[in-house]
Structures are given as C-alpha cells and as structure tokens.
Amino acid sequence: MTKKIAVLLGSFLVLGACNQGPEVHEENASVGEVAEKVRAATGGGQFIRAGEWKSTGTIEEMTIPGMSAEDSARMKQAMAKSGIHEFSTCLTEQDVKQPEGKFFTGNDQCRYDHFTMSGGKIDAAMRCDAQGGGTQVMTMKGNYSPESYNMSMEMKTAGAPGAPGEMTMRMRVESRRVGACKPGSQAAGN
C-alpha cells in the first residue's frame, strides 16, 4: 500500500499550474481524456516548471472496518510515527509539455466523475475498479502554482472480496520545485 501511495502522490506533480494557466472542466472523463484536455489547454506550452520536485505526503486518517479499538489505537500511533512520506520526482521538459494519462493518476479502469483545474485551484473526483474487485473513489482538492502545490485527498475503497466494509484514507500532499533534476532522480512516469 505504501508503494501505491507514493506513486499516487508523485502523480500529482503534474497538477501544478500557473494561476493564469490552463483551465480544464471535465465530467465523466477517462484519465487519458483529462490529460489530452490539459495538453490542449496549454497549447503545447509548459504549465509547470520542469525539474526536481520534493513532496511530503502525510496520512492523516485511516479507517478499516472491523478493526478493534485497540488495533485502531496502535495504527494511529504508528501513523503518527511513520505517516509522513517524503520523496523526490524529476519532471522533464517532455513531461511538462506533453503530460500523459499516467500523470493524472489512475489507469484504464478509472474515470473522473469531475476534474476542474482553474485559477490556481483543483477539484476532482475519480472512480476506479479496484484490483480483486470492488471500487475505489478518490477526491482531491487543493491549490497549485508553477513552483508548488498543496492537495488534500480522500480515498475510499469498498466492495473488495472478504472486506467487511469501506476502508477510508485521508492524506495531505505538499510539493515544491527545488531546482534542476539530479542524476539518477526518480522520473515522474515511473
């Protein structure tokens, strides 16, 4: 799950854009359709700055149905110690000029209920078919600029075989551009 969260958080690097930058309003759209609308809205220009981005993702809450109060207390204590994930991602010139669907999180089993990117704000909700069955719904809200972004996210997973109910996770991501990419940096699309 931690790897999935890191990939998910890294994917949001492409959501940064200039306050006067692209304006995208989509409903019931695939991840690829959203990426294409962002490319079209930028007119082939850059909507964020290429370079090394440092991100911090903080898991603020995780609820797992059927978990005992004692286990829940232990999990919250562990999250307080290790719920912060820091990572770096390199965005190339090509990444920022031609963002692919994988930058916008999700895969071909995902669709955005809505995706709005305008005036320094983003508001989106995406629904995915989860591996092994069930569905996953993620909502995202935040602010962005060419050099940084702040995002609050909530992910709910329901209907997985053997799961007693809906699992919920809330997290916050803060990211900023720190300069040119370093040799050996993790590429955004990986």
Q: What is the residue-level pLDDT of the chain in tens, covering all 190 positions?
A: 434 443 444 444 344 333 456 788 999 998 888 888 877 877 665 667 889 999 998 888 888 887 777 877 777 777 666 667 888 888 888 777 766 555 555 567 889 999 998 888 889 999 988 777 788 899 999 998 889 989 999 999 887 666 667 888 899 999 999 999 988 766 655 4
**In a domain? residue 190:** no
- Report the number of distinct structural domains present in the chain: 1
Residue 158 has a pLDDT of 85
For residue 152, what are the domain limits?
Answer: 2-174
41 assigned to some structural domain: yes
Residue 150 included in any domain: yes
Burial class (CB in 10 A: 0-12, 13-18, 19+), 73: exposed
Question: How far is Cα 24 from Cα 27, in angstroms, rounded to an integer?
Answer: 10
Q: Bridge partners of 176?
A: 54, 148
Q: Please report whether residue 15 resides in a domain.
A: yes
Of 94, 91, 100, 96, residue with least CA distance to 32? 100
Residue 51 lies in a domain: yes
| pTM of the complete model | 0.73
Token pair in block for residue 108: 């071909």
Whether 185 maps to a domain, the answer reads no
Give the distance between the most distant pair of CA atoms in the chain. 54
Q: For residues 89 and 111, what is the distance between their CA atoms, to the nearest angstrom?
A: 25
Domain presence at residue 52: yes
Q: Is residue 131 part of a domain?
A: yes
What lies within 8 Å, CB to CB, of 33 at 6+ separation is 26
**170, 61 contact by CB (below 8 A):** yes
